[in-house]
Amino acid sequence: MPQITLLSQETIDKIAAGEVVERPSSVVKELVENAIDAKASAVTVEIKEGGISFIRITDNGCGIERAQVPLAFLRHSTSKIKSIEDLLCVRSLGFRGEALSSIAAVSQVELITKTNGELTGTRYVIEGSKEKENEEVGAPDGTTFIVRNLFYNTPARRKFLKTAQTEGNYIGDLMERLALSHPDVSFKFISNGQAKLHTSGNSNEKDLIYHVYGRDITAALLPVHAENELFSVHGFIGKPVVSRGNRNYESYFINGRYIKSSLLSKAVEEAYKGFLMQHQYPFCVLYFTFDSELLDVNVHPTKMELRFSSNEEIYRRLYQIIRDALTHKELIPDVPVEAKKEQTRAPIPAHTPEPFEKRRIQQIREAVRADSPYEIKYPERDRHAEAENLGVFEKLLGGQTGKKTVPVSETVPDVKSPSSPEILHGEVVQEQSAYMATETPAVYIQQTLLEQDKEFLTADAAKSHRIIGQLFDTYWLIEYEDKLFVIDQHAAHEKVLYERTMARVRTQEFSSQALSPPVILTLSAEEQEMLARYGDVIRQFGYEIEPFGGKEYAVNAIPAEFDGIDPERMLLEMLDDFSGISGREAPEQILEKVASLSCKAAVKGGSRLSRTEAERLIDELLTLENPYHCPHGRPTIISMSRYEIEKKFKRIV
């Protein structure tokens, strides 16, 4: 019989480390969260070979007192909680006291730290949970951790790591999440000597989104701000045009911590239904504040998951908040005639502006202070950018190139960043970042101007629509202002039918058209079961179905809206679809069946409409909450600017 023995402390430490330290990104996460809990306002993370051979994390936080340094590396030693009662109201990112002990068990760790009240700092070296050095050194306030040769003493675990490039990418993604979760902290991430991320810590979430996700996404954001008795939320959601094929662009932060929550994801994704195509997911960066009594954060060692105490109510409230943010907005995608290079992320600013950037900053300062024309000189190769930006600045500074200007602070209220020139009361201040000086304001200026554009689908705008004609018997071309709008007649009509049907569902006002003679259906046993289960719902939409003997059923009437379609085929397809519905999701999925029915009844592409019918279709779109997408999420309208068209014809060079 096998003998029962006690494991050695070294073995215990390595087993425990496996719960906390899975890969290099786990080390970075734990140490950066400790730095944030230590009130650091600046954190620098440097790695080599994906963090496998070298990780250095430096912060300007409160540091660790010399006498407490060895204690910090013992298991379950922490300054975050004192008793089990503290777990109910914990607000820090880390509190279990396992991080340093676990990291030290599987790597070679060097710590240099100093508190504000000490004259000198402490250098502490520990390898495989064994103390090697503890000495006094000169050091600045704050803490630096150097972690070398991760899993050097557990080769079985090291061989399961992925390539250095992949592990480095994991750390890069983590740093972006940490930066987004703490906009008041300046983060710098360096990989193999190259700066990958550098944020200003100016508390501007939109600045952060620009740095992480780039210009295109930043220009297509909708703000979210709401508060109720359960939670408060603020942040941004993306217009449907920036959807993705996975959930990687959904970011949720609760009380300063990045978390993954199927409840929050489901609420947001359901709110986007009808705005996105199937299997597409929205972009969002949402910051939640919950009362700690409504959360259980002690669910998972990495604290990536948590539990809520009021799931259904939280789901309902968040769904409505996102839905309200999406509806009644101009969501027509602007399609450029000329394809442009995709820019996913903002370049990292250099420490020192290049000479031409210095000259440009100087010209901006002189132009604003002297109340002179806002002119910016570009190199010969940037003539296009000069023409485009001059048009933007002319509009901002009074709509002309003369002496009359408008105070920039009144026109661009969002352009505030310590890492870029802040334009306040006609004065340019702070020029730490040349890139942000010339690029970030343009993003916000462009977004501000886009938001000021007149909406296309309004009663007033409809008076100025100039219908050019029908293209391919499918698309209607309409000129309005300086844009060409293209309407897909099938998607638009499908949306109108869907909204009409849903309105009747809400008001319980249905109309039917009688079929003479009735349509006789022969149903299988499964189809009869579906009809018995969902018959009441089907009849609500205007169907009249009754037994006709044996397996036969008579369809006496169909919804009045669905004229000109095959009622037999439509009902059989609907009953087949119902077989895949679960009881809990039935109401939502039945609405999807209505959407598919609308698709079948809508005017098809390739059908010629008269101008009067097209005008009537546009008028009906004006009455809808979301006229920009069909029930399946496809766009009903796209637009192209005059500038892009003239650029394609080389009128603008």
How large is the average pLDDT for residues 5-20?
60
Residue-wise pLDDT for 425-450, tens only, equals: 333 333 333 333 334 443 433 343 34
The CATH number covering residue 29 comes to: 3.30.565.10
DSSP state of 366: H
The DSSP element (H or E) to which 78 belongs, if any, is: none
Q: At residue 204, what is the residue type?
A: N
Residues 192 and 226 in one domain: no
- Distance CA(4)–CA(432), nearest Å, equals 64
Answer whether residue 483 shows pLDDT above 70: yes
At 409, the pLDDT band (50, 70, 90 cuts) reads very low
Q: Is the CB of residue 488 less than 8 Å from the CB of residue 635?
A: yes
Residue-wise pLDDT for 502-515, tens only, equals: 777 667 676 788 88
Answer whether residue 58 shows pLDDT above 80: yes
Most confident of 150-164, 342-356, 377-391, 403-417: 150-164
Residues 431 and 535 in one domain: no
Residues 574 and 605 in one domain: yes
CA angle 397, 401, 406 (to 5 degrees): 20
- Distance CA(493)–CA(619), nearest Å, equals 11
- Distance CA(500)–CA(617), nearest Å, equals 13
588 C-beta neighbours (distance < 10 Å), count: 11
- Distance CA(125)–CA(105), nearest Å, equals 12
How large is the average pLDDT for residues 77-92?
50
Please give the backbone phi and psi of residue 651, each rounded to the nearest 5 degrees, phi first: -70, -30
Among 13-22, 113-122, 162-171, 566-575, whose mean pLDDT is lowest?
13-22
Residues 460 and 434 in one domain: no
Residues 529 and 631 in one domain: yes
Sorted by sequence, the CB contacts under 8 Å of residue 525 that are 6+ apart come out as none
Residues 458 and 545 in one domain: yes
pLDDT at 154: 86
Identify whether 1 is part of a domain: no
In three-state secondary structure terms, 99 is helix
Answer whether residue 414 shows pLDDT above 50: no
Q: At residue 320, what is the residue type?
A: Q
Sorted by sequence, the CB contacts under 8 Å of residue 651 that are 6+ apart come out as none
Residues 60 and 166 in one domain: yes
* CA–centroid distance for 513 within its chain: 45
At 96, the pLDDT band (50, 70, 90 cuts) reads very low
Among 196-200, 332-336, 415-419, 496-500, whose mean pLDDT is lowest?
415-419
Q: In the numeric block, which tokens belong to residue 564? A: 């000109």
More confident residue, 18 or 607: 607
Identify whether 85 is part of a domain: yes
Alpha carbon separation from 82 to 86, 162, 302, 493 (Å, rounded): 7, 38, 20, 64
- Distance CA(50)–CA(165), nearest Å, equals 6
Residues 408 and 542 in one domain: no
Strands 544-549 and 552-559: antiparallel
- Distance CA(212)–CA(200), nearest Å, equals 12
Most confident of 1-10, 43-52, 309-318, 434-443: 43-52
The DSSP element (H or E) to which 149 belongs, if any, is: none
**H helix and E strand count, the chain:** 22, 24
Q: At residue 414, what is the residue type?
A: D
pLDDT at 36: 92
- Distance CA(222)–CA(231), nearest Å, equals 20
pLDDT at 168: 93
Identify whether 349 is part of a domain: no
Identify whether 342 is part of a domain: no
Domain boundary among 198, 226, 259: 198
Residues 447 and 486 in one domain: no
pLDDT at 376: 39
pLDDT at 591: 62
The domain tally of the chain equals 4
In three-state secondary structure terms, 87 is helix
CA 271, 318, 249, 347 dihedral sign is: positive
Answer whether residue 42 shows pLDDT above 90: yes
Q: In the numeric block, which tokens belong to residue 36? A: 């944030």
Identify whether 346 is part of a domain: no
Which residue segment(s) compose the domain that 414 sits in? 355-452
Among 58-62, 317-321, 366-370, 570-574, whose mean pLDDT is lowest?
366-370
At 529, the pLDDT band (50, 70, 90 cuts) reads confident
Identify whether 350 is part of a domain: no
Q: In what order do the strands lie in the sheet with 512-522?
A: 512-522, 552-559, 544-549
Identify whether 260 is part of a domain: yes
Residues 423 and 570 in one domain: no
At 493, the pLDDT band (50, 70, 90 cuts) reads confident
Identify whether 163 is part of a domain: yes
Alpha carbon separation from 241 to 114, 165, 225, 634 (Å, rounded): 49, 31, 21, 10
Residue-wise pLDDT for 144-195, tens only, equals: 999 999 998 888 888 889 999 999 999 999 999 999 999 999 999 999 999 9
Domain boundary among 420, 436, 452: 452
Q: Is the CB of residue 538 less than 8 Å from the CB of residue 559?
A: no
C-alpha closest to that of 11 among 127, 138, 129: 129
pTM for this entry:
0.60
Residue-wise pLDDT for 534-563, tens only, equals: 888 778 777 889 998 888 889 888 877 666
Residues 360 and 485 in one domain: no
pLDDT at 185: 93
Please give the backbone phi and psi of residue 42, each rounded to the nearest 5 degrees, phi first: -145, 130
Residues 36 and 69 in one domain: yes
Domain boundary among 429, 452, 475: 452
Residue-wise pLDDT for 123-140, tens only, equals: 999 998 889 999 999 999
The CATH number covering residue 546 comes to: 3.30.1540.20
Residue-wise pLDDT for 365-394, tens only, equals: 555 455 444 343 434 444 444 444 444 434
